[in-house]
Every structure is written in structure tokens, then in C-alpha cells.
Amino acid sequence: MSRSHPLFAPLCAGLVLLTLGACTGERGYPSLARLPAERIALTVPPALAAPAVAQPLPAETGARAQRLAEMIRAAHGHFTALAARGAAGDSALSELEVARGQTSLALAQLERLYADDRITHAEADGVAGPAAPPRAATVLLEQLRSEGLALLASEDAVLAGKAG
């Protein structure tokens, strides 16, 4: 039989339908319910559930964080002294902005330390879970960072008052 024969197309269609019909069997369509092998246990294995051992902040990183915190405080002290002078004009405003820049630069370096710490320990913190106590290193960096952010916000408020 050649492909140009008029019964070729209906015969092929019939064969396809018979083949598809054999796939469904007597049960109809296959179930979409999960098979036992497809079920995933949502429990964390006991070995992973134990909190990660808290590692102290490396000595050089802790010392650097403390130095940066002191730089932030010193820059803020300089800013406060300039603001207390009460000088007016563009030159006084420029001096305040430069002093704020020094605070901001030291804070940016502290932020980098904080980010590096969070990235380095993200996996361990994730394994420990949200109920685990924070690491001492993280607490120290967060405290220094919060202090720096508060000082910078106060400087921004002073600059906004002088500019307005």
C-alpha cells in the first residue's frame, strides 16, 4: 500500500488511537496523586538540627571593628564640634559635609566587615535556625553598626536643619 492510497491516512489515525487507548488501560487516566517515592520528608535530620558551634570573631577583625567604631565616634565628635560653633554660610556647611563624609566612610568600612561576617556565616546561621542564639561576633558587629548608623542619622538631621 502506498502513501497516496486513500485509506492510508484513516488507517494511520486508527492505529494511533488504538495505541493511545492501550496506554490508558481499564483504569482510565493515570492518577496525579504523589507516589510514596515522590514524598519528601520535611524534617531536618538530627545531625543538621544541632546549632552550629559559635565561632568567636577573629582577633584582627574584632580589633579592626573597634578601630572603625572609634573612627566613627571621633568623626562624629568633630562634626558635633563644628555644628556647635554655629557658623553660617556655605563654607561652614561644606565643613560639616566633609565631617559627615568621614563618619560615613568609616561606617562603610564597618558595614563591609558586617556584610563579610554575615556572608561567611550565613550557611551556619541557616542550619542553626532562627531560634538559635546569635553569635557573639554578629552581636558585636550589629551593635557597632547600629551605633554608627544612629550617629550618621543625627548628622543628617543637623545638615537638613542647616540647609533648610
Q: pLDDT tens across 21-76, in order?
A: 655 555 566 677 776 666 665 554 444 444 445 556 677 888 899 999 999 999 99
Question: What single string gives the DSSP state of each residue in the chain?
Answer: --TTSTTHHHHHHHHHHHHHHHHHTTT-SPP-SPPGGG----SPPHHHHSPPPPPPPPHHHHHHHHHHHHHHHHHHHHHHHHHHHT--SHHHHHHHHHHHHHHHHHHHHHHHHHHHHHHHTHHHHHHH-TTSPPPHHHHHHHHHHHHHHHHHHHHHHHHHHHH-
Among 72-76, 112-116, 160-164, the range of highest mean pLDDT: 72-76
Q: How far apart are CA 154 and CA 72, in angstroms?
A: 13
pLDDT of residue 139: 81
Residue 115 predicted with pLDDT over 90 = no
Q: What is the mean pLDDT of residues 125-133?
A: 53
- Distances in Å between the alpha carbon of 72 and those of 27, 111, 144? 74, 12, 10
Name 76's Cβ contacts closer than 8 Å, sequence gap at least 6.
103, 151, 152, 154, 155
The tally of CA atoms less than 13 A away on the side-chain side of residue 70 is 6
Tell me how many degrees the CA angle 147-151-156 measures, rounded to the nearest 5.
145
The per-residue pLDDT of the chain, averaged, comes to 77
Q: pLDDT tens across 95-107, in order?
A: 999 999 999 999 9
pLDDT of residue 109: 94
pLDDT of residue 50: 44
Q: How far apart are CA 16 and CA 11, in angstroms?
A: 9
Residue 15 predicted with pLDDT over 90 = no
pLDDT of residue 154: 95
pLDDT higher for 41 or 93? 93
Residue 128 predicted with pLDDT over 60 = no
**φ, ψ (nearest 5 deg) of residue 51:** -65, 145
Q: Taking the model in full, what pTM does it have?
A: 0.60
Q: How confident is the model at residue 19 (pLDDT cuts 50, 70, 90)?
A: low
pLDDT of residue 40: 60
pLDDT of residue 82: 92
